[in-house]
Amino acid sequence: MMPVSPHLNIELCLGSSCYCRGNGGIRAGLPDLIARRGWHESVSIKGCLCRESCAKGPMVFLNGVANVVHNISELEKLIEIELRRTPCPMQEEG
């Protein structure tokens, strides 16, 4: 059995409030961050609609858990933490 990379689902709120408060910049910088860190196989990224936490935003959901993230550096640190915490499943060889 071989270890499989942990997987993290990242959802950026692209509602107007979160977008203006920082997720627009995070969205623009995320592809470069993923490439620089070699996280292509470890994360998936998608946008989501407003989840009614606008007053706290900008909101980023990591495996469904809400986080307030102000910039790409903060998100990078959160991703590192989450990838370390996520159990590494095993995959059958062959």
- Interacting residue with ligand FES among 27, 37, 51, 70 (CB under 6 A): 51
66 in contact with ligand FES (CB under 6 A): no
Give the C-alpha separation, 79 to 85, whole Å.
Answer: 10
Give the C-alpha separation, 94 to 91, whole Å.
Answer: 9
Q: How many residues bind ligand FES (CB under 6 A)?
A: 11
CB–CB of 50/17 below 8 Å?
Answer: yes
54 in contact with ligand FES (CB under 6 A): yes
| Least Cβ distance, residue 16 to ligand FES (angstroms) | 6
